[in-house]
Structure 1
């Protein structure tokens, strides 16, 4: 077990070791509020795409402020420098009215002076956390009224920069949602998309005042579970939402947009498939090691393979998706062969387990049989009872 732990640690180091050295390539994201994958789509998106490095701060709505501050001490950056390592901060209906003046000041500095991008989706947090705090001055809306349960779909404004136009061709405007809010944009903001049939703004942005302000975004649907594909019955209805989000982040940071959405999806799927298969191989190796199997040769090969996958991730980050696909397809047969060897190791370990169990059961059966035969059939332990003759006393 200790051996496998060392192997897993080395694989994790390989898969994340380049993160610190690639701060300018990868995007650091911090999600606050409702951060579970069934409430915030960005949680799943940022975990699935190697472009992003994700940290979370769950803030349950029903906790008292004293308990929320305990969560802050565990998850929120301890100083301004720690906060400024993030490129993209998401408020998912975050009830952060308990934030201290220092935390609010650090956030204000990040959004106004350090170019950090923010994205907000509101429910009751608008009234409880944003309107009463300085965060109200950061967001591009002045009012938010929630929550209407009627069907809607989005309509991108064609006069805007072509950040989201590829998704019109991919059918995103045909995806329906079932609940939304009414957001009132401030003067000087940019509306990127509206909801139909009511015509209300759906996606709004601006740069709050400051020397180097980042873009602040607001989406007026509280991460509707139907449109974003969070509800069990709607999964897969909006398959390009992850790429929509990626383009939004790339545009906010001034980076090149996705060059080929469909090819990127294929490359991302191959990378995710490798991670799933690797987890399966590690599970079988752990099982085999627990029964004394030698997993070192297999672990060395897996470490080498992981290093080659890191090269594929680098080309993915450079948007050379064809090279990523080519690399991952060339590695697939080797991973399949390693999976087969891991299964063989497991089977060999189980073979000796079965042999041991068979010997124990057989020995017990033989011993029990000998004892029963000796006692009940040969009756070795039995002695005939002798009879004494009675004598008369007279």
Structure 2
């Protein structure tokens, strides 16, 4: 049992539960958030709990509060990295106005349908925020089924519809099982779905993206791929797993999730590099990716920086820019965690997150503005209000 972090007057109240059952976890989260008037609650739920029972029970206990969220591959809690828990954030109604829509049946998702839904969402959001101060600003959160392989299509539809509202988010996880992940909306748990939340706030905020990789001079080209399924069959006209192993200096017999975590590939988009991580080697020697790939895509072998230094620099830069931070809402790739664990830096990273109040979950992929990326920490830092709300 965990105590809530912050008072009802805080802009964001953080709660955590570590109990044996989903109902007990829902009880605990509802109890910790009961005293605040909330615009919404986000919940990040370990696959240790039954997601359908948990969200139904929490919604029953908080019937007047919109609740959104997803299952995780690990939780970013008030104490740092965690597992087998529920982490929740209550957004104070004095500081936030929200509107949200689910996107269902992603397997048959069409961009024009997504644009239509997001246009409706933006119209509702405009009505909800008519009374807001013109100086208030907006951002969006996206939670999406991490097994759907549709993140890029969804992001394309959203960005075509929401104009200048920037989006960050994460792909729901399932521990390290990679079998089924869930998102939450309106008291129910959905697979093959996403939820888009638009948020307007009086508080200062900054979106962020952090990884610890630099490009090397080693380049490769995807020469044969199953684009729909994110499978690379050939790189440089050679079997993909063999050519990847050669490029990063590994034996192909040693390829596993930890290998891919330590040796991601980068793509260059708009002058910046973004990580493209591999999920597994298939029996035919092809590589299954977490992100979209395409024939002709140039992949750059990455070189690692110290992950603690890179993350600390980013957190300090935002703190210096924004002033005192209420919370860093974070979406962190599970492969980033595995890589840090391999370097035996788990304790240091967890402590860094604890000190800076990084709250969120570990993902199967991260969203940052128009991009879907891997092996990255993305999110939004929320500053503190100058004066208490009236």
Higher helix proportion (structure 1 or 2):
1
The structure whose RCO (Cα within 8 Å, separation 6+) is larger is 2
TM-score normalised over the length of structure 2: 0.26
Q: Which has the larger radius of gyration?
A: 1
Higher strand proportion (structure 1 or 2):
2
